[in-house]
Structure 1
């Protein structure tokens, strides 16, 4: 039955719904519990909390998009049940009371059941009560999502454990993206969820609708700074369980492409240590190096030069010399990136015309570096640099592993590994 087929027992304009919405808005848990447990009948009554059917109100102000193209007679409204409300807000006592009165744990007039709501809110006690009353652990929502797909927060780990204990499928794909629960955990950086799913037999390299593995999804998700640690642990966990470090999605992008797109140097190094190809090309012909260079100016806080350095120390080809001016223009505000890149060439002809590519305020902000760059316009690189290039050419993709084994002082090892110094010689 579709959402529009239900006739609500308590429509939007009813007195009870008005009082219920007021209590929900005020976060008055006691009042919400009292309303749904003592005033709503029958126990599985359908409650209408919202309705955007503009055809019922000809004077309604319509969004501009509604006036363009073909109209549809469908509209959205929010239908729910007392059990769904109680589960969504973590009212375990209400959930127990309603189930005791015979409430259907799988009723879903709004497209999601009470178990979905409990998992979305991370309410483990409610989820366990529903499962104990035979709620379907694999019930699909209107969007094709099982409750495990809605375990999207750290707080939902207990819900995920309860679902698996009651037979939920860890391999189930859902939604338009055809994601598994492991994909969801990877997207959200939930390392403990991922560990739980892998321990329950989740296939580490399962593909979603875009051909992505969980590792690919994890590397492509944008992260807040406080989430980077969890993401790194999650990716390390996936790799320990045999995830393919170089798995390509439908656009031939590898996890390394995606990590470099966020200038995540710690993640890039992890992938490179597990055999990711530093020179891989996607369908558009872009390499991981190209991806980090494209984002460098917008990701200065992420120290993008570290990602560029890691790529070169694992065998990434450098930029075609004729394309260096274009990179100079794009990355002018990231001189450390330009320094690492410039030092990847034994010799690169510097042109005075390049000065026109650098905004004056950027030039003044990083004056020592740019002065050292243009001082090389008519001067060959120093012998030390040429020796560095000879060593790097000899070691190739193994620079990162072999250079630290050389009997050289640490500062000289760092120099050979392209550690930025702030100026060019």
Structure 2
């Protein structure tokens, strides 16, 4: 008989479960403690918190998914134990009480053990108690995840330390994605977790099921603005520990492709300083520059022109001239991107037909810039611009480092580094 077919000691419709749910929903710690520590018949009782198997009851109202033909034959059944509930809630005294009465620290009728639950909640004291009572630090959940894989928040750092002290494997692959704990830390910008795992021998360039290294995973995850600094610290740490800046995933995308796709100029700069290849092409034939140009209009607040500047100042090839109208069409709402890219060519023939790809409201919003662009339709670029291009061609991919060494005013250095001015001259 499988776990899902096992008859629970306390079914979902029992009076005990109703009281338990009420205590959980009301955050009534005292009542919860009484229920799981005193009212259960035995410490390893199986408690059914949910069961949506509507197929067993033909008279039950059908879930909305059935009505639109999206329902699968699987259903959700949530089984747990008093120890798992106590660990998930961070009730250390309850965990101690239950373990003292002989509760099995590795019991997992619902697919996750108490140690998994403690790590998910970041409850270090509970995790340590369980480990002291011989909980398996590498116990796999039904999804194939070890407790270290569930250390997903900053609050779980103490749990991760306790697990490693008790012999948890830092290299264990878990889940469908075959992520190591270092991948999990990278995906969530947990730089202190990453430092801990590397200290315990984690392989910095281990690959997951998608062919990603931790650096690739860190660069590929979308971030909130408040996470950017932590992500940058984490990536800098990985690179200092020898992470390959150009490691490709299964789609041949490098960390630089991903940083550019998310319009992260500071991260792109870090990767470029560590030798990331600006010429790299993914399976779709896109370069890092193409990736940021594809995304620029969706993230104007991220100042995509800064990422474009970084790439061009590190020797990125420009867009094929005949394709420039496509760039103009996709990036019209971010004229600073157009300006930086346009100024990377010694001469680019401007066509009046380009006006057709710029929405009228965008043209009017950025009228000064677009008037300056089309004023160049029948005029060669100025000598100063041609000198800029000659110097940049001579410096090549070292523009970013050589231009600041020139005995020139900062304004001219910025000009050489394609700093946008708002108009084209």
TM-score by length of 2: 0.98
Q: Secondary structure at the match of 1:79?
A: strand
Describe how 1:348-359 pairs up with structure 2 within 5 A.
348-359=348-359
Task: Provide structure 1 residue ranges, at least 5 long, that are not aligned to the other structure.
Answer: none
Match of 1:314 in 2: 314
Q: Evaluate the alpha carbon distance shift between residue 219 and residue 378 of structure 1 in structure 2; reply closer, same or farther with a 3 A threshold.
A: same
Match of 1:169 in 2: 169
The answer to whether 1:305 aligns with 2:305 is yes
User: How far off is 1:64 after superposition?
Assistant: 3.4
Q: Evaluate the alpha carbon distance shift between residue 358 and residue 16 of structure 1 in structure 2; reply closer, same or farther with a 3 A threshold.
A: same
The answer to whether 1:60 aligns with 2:61 is yes
Match of 1:368 in 2: 368
1-structure distance, mates of 2:3, 2:187: 29
User: Residues 73-118 of structure 1, C-alpha deviation per residue, up to 9 Å, x if partnerless?
Assistant: x432000000000000100000000000000000000000000000
Do the aligned residues in 1 keep the contact of 2:260 with 2:291 (CA within 8 Å)?
yes
1-structure distance, mates of 2:213, 2:141: 23
Q: Secondary structure at the match of 2:140?
A: coil
Q: Evaluate the alpha carbon distance shift between residue 65 and residue 29 of structure 1 in structure 2; reply closer, same or farther with a 3 A threshold.
A: same
Describe how 1:192-211 pairs up with structure 2 within 5 A.
192-211=192-211
Match of 1:220 in 2: 220
Match of 1:23 in 2: 23
2-structure distance, mates of 1:75, 1:196: 38
254-263 or 53-62, which moves further after superposition? 53-62
Do the aligned residues in 1 keep the contact of 2:161 with 2:196 (CA within 8 Å)?
yes
Q: Secondary structure at the match of 1:195?
A: helix
2-structure distance, mates of 1:235, 1:381: 40
User: Residues 121-148 of structure 1, C-alpha deviation per residue, up to 9 Å, x if partnerless?
Assistant: 0000000000000000000000000000
Q: Secondary structure at the match of 2:78?
A: strand
Name the count of aligned residue pairs. 424
Q: Evaluate the alpha carbon distance shift between residue 101 and residue 247 of structure 1 in structure 2; reply closer, same or farther with a 3 A threshold.
A: same
User: How far off is 1:29 after superposition?
Assistant: 1.3
Describe how 1:19-418 pairs up with structure 2 within 5 A.
19-58=19-58, 59-64=60-65, 68=69, 72=73, 74-418=74-418
User: How far off is 1:71 after superposition?
Assistant: 5.9
User: Residues 30-82 of structure 1, C-alpha deviation per residue, up to 9 Å, x if partnerless?
Assistant: 1111110010111100000000101122232233358748963x432000000
Q: Secondary structure at the match of 2:79?
A: strand
User: How far off is 1:27 after superposition?
Assistant: 1.1
Q: Secondary structure at the match of 2:310?
A: helix
1-structure distance, mates of 2:5, 2:76: 12
Do the aligned residues in 1 keep the contact of 2:112 with 2:142 (CA within 8 Å)?
yes
2-structure distance, mates of 1:192, 1:30: 34
Q: Evaluate the alpha carbon distance shift between residue 50 and residue 70 of structure 1 in structure 2; reply closer, same or farther with a 3 A threshold.
A: closer
Do the aligned residues in 1 keep the contact of 2:65 with 2:71 (CA within 8 Å)?
no
CA RMSD of aligned residues (A): 1.2
Task: Provide structure 2 residue ranges, at least 5 long, that are not aligned to the other structure.
Answer: none
1-structure distance, mates of 2:83, 2:67: 34
The structure 1 segments of at least 4 consecutive aligned residues displaced by more than 6 Å after TM superposition are none
